[in-house]
Structure 1
């Protein structure tokens, strides 16, 4: 039976508080414990200028942690500085891909330090716009204890370059024939219809959803099927 993971992107002190609360209420209703990407030092103008600063944000983050939600380091500033796609070229823009190793180390260190200031220790990372490169992996190894990355296309979790990769295959809930499927949502930009469709799916398939801590991490290499999925996905894009 397929298992599902729900991932929420772009949680920061500049976000749509009402939509995030709506998401939290919905997930609590069905007992879903998502993976949440925390932007430690938000400098993304598209977020800062569109939302009021939430001075209670870090209190909310700790409440998510206490209810069993998994918190991930979601970049550092969430500010794009290159047009590179890196090793997961879902988009041609990046905070990390194409940036020097020294600068990436500084960003990872800075992000980790901010999370620690609020009592948050994580072992999961995913980059803004899904884009990162080999220097990102080196920086994570040198500056953190993070060894899990939520991203790339595959049928199931695999182990590569000393990291466990939890694949992320879809931006909306739907039945997909993968052993483990991550659905990636951005609550800030969700419509009423998005929330309605999500609830319809959760009501029917809530029992298939797992938390990150429930995922079995095996040192499994990519299979031929994983490589084929990756190839077909990027050819289609």
Structure 2
């Protein structure tokens, strides 16, 4: 039986408040505790120019934390500065990949400090557009206590370079032949039919969903099968 994780991207003080509220009510209805990517210092004009600043945002993160939602470090400024694909090349734009180590350390340090200032101790990281590189991992080791990454393609959680990688395979809920599946949603961009599809899936499979806190992470090395899966998947993306 597959274990599911629901991941929500781009939570910040600039977001679609109504859609996030709709998502929260839906997940509460089925007892789902998602993994939420919080942008510490949002300077992404596609978000800041689109949405009104929400003065209650950090109060919401406190409420989510109280519910047992896992609040992750989702980049720093959410601004793309390179066209690199890094070690998870599902896209060719990044806030981190290709950026010098010192700058990446500065961004990780700043992002963590902002979240800690709001009583959030991040244990999970995922980068904007899923793109990061080896220097990102070094920066996380040196500037944070984060040792869990939500990203890469695999059939199960694996342990490499001192990090647990929880795979993220789909942008919508669906049945997949993997032991652990992460479904990544961007509530800001969701349409009515997306919420409806999600609710139908949750009705029948809500017991399959787990929080990151509930997962029993083991230092299982990456398998040869996953290495082949990476090669096939990324070649297909190209």
Give the TM-score of the pair, scaled to structure 2.
Answer: 0.98
In structure 2, runs of 5+ residues without a counterpart are: none
Q: Do residues 35 (structure 1) and 35 (structure 2) align?
A: yes
**Once the 2 structures are TM-superposed, how far is the Cα of residue 180 of structure 1 from its aligned partner?**
0.2
In the alignment, the residues of structure 2 paired with residue 229 and residue 173 of structure 1 have an alpha-carbon distance, to the nearest angstrom, of 20
Q: Which runs of 4+ in 1 moved over 4 A?
A: none
Q: Quick check: 213-222 or 100-109, which moved more? A: 213-222
**Once the 2 structures are TM-superposed, how far is the Cα of residue 232 of structure 1 from its aligned partner?**
2.3
In the alignment, the residues of structure 1 paired with residue 167 and residue 130 of structure 2 have an alpha-carbon distance, to the nearest angstrom, of 11
Aligned to 2:78: 78
**Once the 2 structures are TM-superposed, how far is the Cα of residue 160 of structure 1 from its aligned partner?**
0.4
**Once the 2 structures are TM-superposed, how far is the Cα of residue 216 of structure 1 from its aligned partner?**
1.4
Aligned to 2:103: 103
**How many pairs were matched up?**
237
In the alignment, the residues of structure 2 paired with residue 134 and residue 236 of structure 1 have an alpha-carbon distance, to the nearest angstrom, of 23
**Once the 2 structures are TM-superposed, how far is the Cα of residue 236 of structure 1 from its aligned partner?**
2.2
Aligned residues: CA RMSD: 0.6
**Once the 2 structures are TM-superposed, how far is the Cα of residue 215 of structure 1 from its aligned partner?**
1.1
Report SS of the residue matched to 1:77. Answer: coil
Aligned to 1:68: 68
In structure 1, runs of 5+ residues without a counterpart are: none
Deviation string, structure 1 residues 22-54 (Cα, Å, up to 9, x no partner):
000000000000000000000000000000000
Matches within 5 A, 1:115-194: 115-194=115-194
In the alignment, the residues of structure 1 paired with residue 236 and residue 171 of structure 2 have an alpha-carbon distance, to the nearest angstrom, of 15
**Once the 2 structures are TM-superposed, how far is the Cα of residue 153 of structure 1 from its aligned partner?**
0.4
Aligned to 2:212: 212
Give the TM-score of the pair, scaled to structure 1.
Answer: 0.99
Deviation string, structure 1 residues 69-121 (Cα, Å, up to 9, x no partner):
00000000000000001000110000000000000000000000000111110
In the alignment, the residues of structure 2 paired with residue 154 and residue 230 of structure 1 have an alpha-carbon distance, to the nearest angstrom, of 8
